[in-house]
Structure 1
Amino acid sequence: MSTNALNRRTFLASLSAAGAAAAALPTAAAARTGGDHRPAYLGSFSWTDPPGRGFDVASHDLSSGQLRPIRSLEGVPDASWLAFSPDRHVLYTTNELVPDGTVTALSLWDPRHPRIINTRSSRGAGPTHLSVHPSGRFLLTANYTDGTVAVHRLEVDGGVGESTDLVRHTSEPRAPHAHQVITDPSGRWVVAVDLGADAVFTYRLDTASGELHRNQRLSAPTGSGPRHLAFHPDGRHAYLLNELASTVTVLRWDAAAGTFELGESVSTRPPDAAGENYPAEIVVTRDDDCYVTNRGDNTVAHFKVSDRGTRLHLTGTTDTGGDWPRHCTLDRTRRWLHVANQNSGTVTRFSRDCTTGSLSQVVDSVEVPGVAVVAL
């Protein structure tokens, strides 16, 4: 694996062992947004060069798509993943690189000036992903270093309450590394993707007790390193992004039984691509477009979904204009794709053809040191 891929994981291990303190965060001058501008939120790492600020509030122009960071918020270190509550009144973030790992709840009643509600242990090291159950009553967190998934009950004000369960994945020969936890479109099943275990776990969440009960363990190809999964809006298929194999695997999803079935796998790279590559994020649209970030190639791969969700075809790749594209997201209009280039500390923007799904070259770029995730 490349030096870039190891940096974060080596840092996680050394930080956990040393019990180092979280990095302090500078604060930028506040600014106001208005008109067609809406708040956006940016999470970043403290260990990059230069170090990220942890959590930034940005202005997002809905008409032009332009993104502009305007202020940072102290006390939210290493925000590597962000997730909204169903009503978007609260934003939750992982604090990935602090000792032992924590999660933070932020009130968005004043969206331009988020306020910390509380911070609580994630019950594991290296929390790398979280999501809110559709009921709005539980927070689900994937702890990468420990290979665990934690459940926390949410308080009336959106704060993170007591943990109700912790499940630990097992695997050989590699240690488990839980990398994502989400709820399926039906709202009936919790799905956890584990990179170390080469597996996707499906659970039923008991909404009375807050406990997880395993329903299925789907084994991916050995050594493929599944990282993230995205469901098709049809609710019958999902697409599993494999970080170590640079592939996407089509999954058939039975929402009644809560089970996946493996389909075909396709490369995230063109046939002539060379060198190391570690895909990071996958986005699927209702009009059958799929986008994947390639760390190493530094591209966004564009796929078309066909045959009623069962097949993917790589139509091309677009240079991200930055280094190590970790996360990408479409805005609510689906006209703009924003890419977080972690190592170059930039968020680049692309226009999207809403008919063909094709992407333009880079439209613009903003500096956000150590950027890991963009939430619009």
Structure 2
Amino acid sequence: MFRKFCCFSIIALFSGLLANAQQYYLFVGSYNRDKDKDGVYLYRFNYNTGALQPVSALKGILNPSFLTLSPDGKYIYACSEAQTPNIGGVSSLAFDSTKETLTLLSRQNSGGDNPAYVGTDKDGKWLLCANYSGGSLSIFPLLEDGQIAPSKQVIAFQDSSVLPRQRSSHIHSAVFSPDGQYAFFPDLGADKIRGYKLVPAAAEPLQPATPPYTATVPGAGPRHIIFHPKLPYAYCIEEMGGMVSCYKYKAGKLDSLQRISAHLQGPANDYNSADIHISPDGRFLYASTRESANTIFIYAINQQKGTLKQIGQESSRGRHPRNFMIDPTGKFLLVANQNSGNIVVFKRNQQTGLLTATGIEVKLLNPSSLQMRAYH
């Protein structure tokens, strides 16, 4: 009787573990140059080894250069950086984790040329879009079935700054604050981080914050902004200046704390810095710089002051690391090297923050955006 009980207990325990087992999936956006070619790719990710296994790919979207996931992981939103006037768009996809399939659901015009970034609020009710060439931002209601409704508001800017690339506004990312009450839009062309308060019931749901923008150093070219997962700080990678700027954040306001290097070579007008992310535990920040550097810069975050100290540099093992991500466990960092066409997996030391190449990489044409999530 005891043996039978033990056997049943072991079987029940094993079944329970299987039921709770998680499968991690990596979603990759790319520049396919043709909507009839694969543009969004799906991989299984082994969170113990870092291995990637291809599953499927989806056609039907031109240059899905940036992806973001809905908070529940059911839907993927993509911007179509068409590189053709008047056809920029945002699309939604459904992901079935049981069948491991992606399905195109809806598309809307983005409200400006060459959308470069999309972001959702924490409740999955709103989609933000940054139109780079159009110098505009837009906001869309999200429906419960994953469809994107027509834009509720499009705001265009006529602004400029000091360098040739800054003759007009270039909105480069669109990010909600952690509480979802504010949205921020780095404007590379104007050297401003624009801020808005979300007023869902209003006819125009984005209302200028106080102040309406935070000015950066002239020629900085703010690109991507992120918020600390636990502390009241924000960090912006400056594409042209090759720096990371740190800010104290409170109720829609960014107060400058520090500006620290994210480049290798000497003085230049454009270092082509790209992406920025924080480890899940909030202890380390990573930033990528493209062109001749092709480097991931590693920083320790002061947990009391929010300031950064550079502690390491790691080659991206490819050319043009446009985008990278840290997996949800914090064990690995994956880099999308757009021009060399490879995604490289690094092991991340969770105590020191430093990176070690695992030797794992996949070849893929023009990878430009990585997103990952675990599914039961």
Normalised TM-score (structure 2): 0.85
Counterpart of 1:114 in structure 2 is: 102
Tell me the CA shift for residue 219 of structure 1.
0.5
User: Matched residues in 2 for 1:361 and 1:371: separation?
Assistant: 19
Choose the corresponding residue for 1:287, options 282, 288, 300.
282
Is contact 1:36-1:62 (8 Å) kept? no
1:43 paired with 2:1, answer no
Q: Distance in 2 between matches of 1:204 and 1:37?
A: 36
| Superimposed CA distance per residue, residues 231-255 of structure 1 (whole angstroms, 9 cap, x where no aligned partner) | 1123411111100010001111112
What is the match of residue 370 of structure 1? 366
Letter in 2 for 1:293: S
Matched, 1:190 2:183: yes
**CA RMSD across the alignment:** 2.1
CA deviation after TM superposition for structure 1 residue 298, in Å? 0.7
**Residue 333 of structure 1, CA deviation:** 0.8
Cα distance, 1:37 vs structure 2: 4.4
1:338-357 aligned within 5 A: 338-357=334-353
SS for the counterpart of 1:108 is: strand
Query: Identity of counterpart residues, as a percentage?
Result: 26
For the pair shown, the structure with the greater C-alpha radius of gyration is 2
Q: Distance in 2 between matches of 1:91 and 1:276?
A: 32
Provide the residue aligned with 1:70 in structure 2: 55
Once the two structures are superposed, residues 273-297 of structure 1 have per-residue CA deviations (whole angstroms, 9 ceiling, x without a partner) of 9996311000012332000111020
Which ranges in structure 2 are unaligned for 5 or more consecutive residues?
1-20, 162-166
Q: Secondary structure at the match of 1:180?
A: coil
Check conservation: 2:81, 2:89, Cα contact below 8 A. yes
Range moving further from structure 2, 78-87 or 300-309: 300-309
For 1:131 and 1:317, the matched residues in 2 are separated by 28
Question: Structure 2: how far apart are the matches of 1:309 and 1:230?
Answer: 17
Q: Quick one: distance in 1 between partners of 2:73 and 2:97?
A: 11
Q: 1:214 aligns with which of 179, 190, 208?
A: 208
The partner residue of 1:102 within 89, 95, 114 is: 89
Distance (Å, rounded) in 1 between the aligned partners of 2:322 and 2:368? 6
Deviations 1:322-344 (A, max 9, x none): 00000010111110000000000
TM-score (norm 1): 0.85
Q: Which residue of 2 aligns with 1:144?
A: 132
Using the alignment, how far apart are the partners of 1:154 and 1:146 within structure 2? 22
Q: How far did 1:46 drift?
A: 2.6
Is the aligned partner of 1:320 residue 2:316? Answer: yes
Structure 1 residue runs of 4 or more that deviate by more than 6 Å after TM superposition:
271-276
The aligned counterpart of 2:147 is 159
1:53 maps to 38
Contact (CA 8 Å) 2:28, 2:42: kept in 1 or not? yes
Instruction: Say whether the 8 Å CA contact 2:240–2:270 is kept in structure 1.
Output: no
Amino acid across the alignment from 2:66: W
8 Å CA contact 1:243–1:278 kept in 2: the answer is yes
